Amino acid sequence: MNYRLHIYDDEVSTSHALADLISEKANSKASNSEKLNIAVSGGKTPSLLFALLAQEYNNSIPWNSVRFFWVDERCVEPTDPESNYGMTYNTLLKNINIPDENIFRMKGELIPEIEAGRYQKQLLNELPVRNGFPVFDLVLLGIGDDGHTASIFPNDMSLLDSELSVSVASHPVSGQKRITLTGKTICNANQVVFFVTGANKSKIVQQIVTKMPEAAKYPSSYIHDIEWNADFYLDKVAAEKI
């Protein structure tokens, strides 16, 4: 078992532990005059982590050595409450001293297919490339109630082995268009972290982490299978069924 479980009492301590990891990685990169290339997910879970980073790590992280990319984005304006960039901006980016050139947002307001192509080119220009795919230092993933991760949903598993680095997806219920990193880009990262909190995720976490048969249809399971050194940052209630 290569993957690692990091289980903490509650959402705050889990977020703190993840903030410590990001701080450690950013400072290590900065000490070598390098940049930390991190791809972040949206949704609700990361908002507390982002707020903590802004409030308690603003002066201990060398933000000019951190470059933010996105795992996925809803195809909406950046000011839309649904925007993953917008959530990150409001909880973190506007509250830290990070150069604009370190922010690489997916432009959800543009035509999805065109933006996916633009973002793919940008990743291949800005990041190291391995096996034909861009290499992130850290990819921060959530897990949805249906086992999706990024915007790779159970009804579109082809995104897991697409030869594209970035593609277009649609939410299976709302039909909302999304731009998303593909499975091969995610698994090409130096480190993949699943960040999951809340009792409502305990069943899906159990199914994925313990590789129960029904989990085979979950995109998160695929990433976990391929990316065998993934880290799971969980609070106690999300981990209670493991």
Give the footprint of ligand 6PG on this chain (CB under 6 A): 41-45, 71-72, 84, 142-144, 148-151
Minimum CB separation of residue 75 from ligand 6PG in Å reads 11
Minimum CB separation of residue 240 from ligand 6PG in Å reads 17
Residue recorded with tokens 């897991």:
160
Which residues make Cβ contacts (< 8 Å) with residue 234, sequence separation at least 6? 5, 6, 7, 8, 14, 194, 196, 197, 205
Residue whose CB is less far from ligand 6PG, 98 or 139:
139
Report d(CA 199, CA 202) in Å as an integer.
5
Minimum CB separation of residue 211 from ligand 6PG in Å reads 20
Nearest residue relative to ligand 6PG (C-beta)? 142
Residue whose CB is less far from ligand 6PG, 65 or 134:
134
Dihedral sign, Cα of residue 112, residue 191, residue 137, residue 196: positive
Are 202 and 241 in contact by the 8 Å Cβ rule? The answer is: yes
Residue whose CB is less far from ligand 6PG, 1 or 173:
173
Report d(CA 190, CA 35) in Å as an integer.
14
Minimum CB separation of residue 180 from ligand 6PG in Å reads 8
